[in-house]
Amino acid sequence: MLLSHTKFLAQISTGAARRLLSDFKKATKRLSADPFQFPFADDLDAPGIPLEVYRKCLFYNRYKALFLVENNDVFIDAIIDCRQENKSLY
């Protein structure tokens, strides 16, 4: 998902694509430092996805990483452009 967002941005502006990747890298460092600093993703209106499992990390002003924490591991399951309707992810 991150690759497709980056490719799309690169068609418009390579600088914007680089900034997206740079900001994602900063977000992953924050995730590895303390994933529990991020709130639960309470905006997932999808059947079968339990509440208070997925957390969200916002980055580059309009993207969010949906992730879950199991033991000491962080698993990023989706990178979403918040400007779009993403019902197909569910």
Q: State the pLDDT at residue 84.
A: 74
Residue 41's domain is classified under what CATH number?
3.30.2310.20
Q: Which domain holds residue 62?
A: 2-89
Return the closest-CA partner of residue 5 out of 46, 60, 56, 43: 60
Q: What is the pLDDT along the chain (90 residues), one digit of tens a residue?
A: 999 999 999 999 999 999 999 999 999 999 999 999 999 998 776 677 778 899 999 999 999 999 999 998 999 999 999 887 655 554
**How many domains, the chain?**
1
Please, are residues 55 and 40 in contact by the beta-carbon 8 Å criterion? yes
Residues forming beta bridges with residue 40, ordered by sequence position: 55
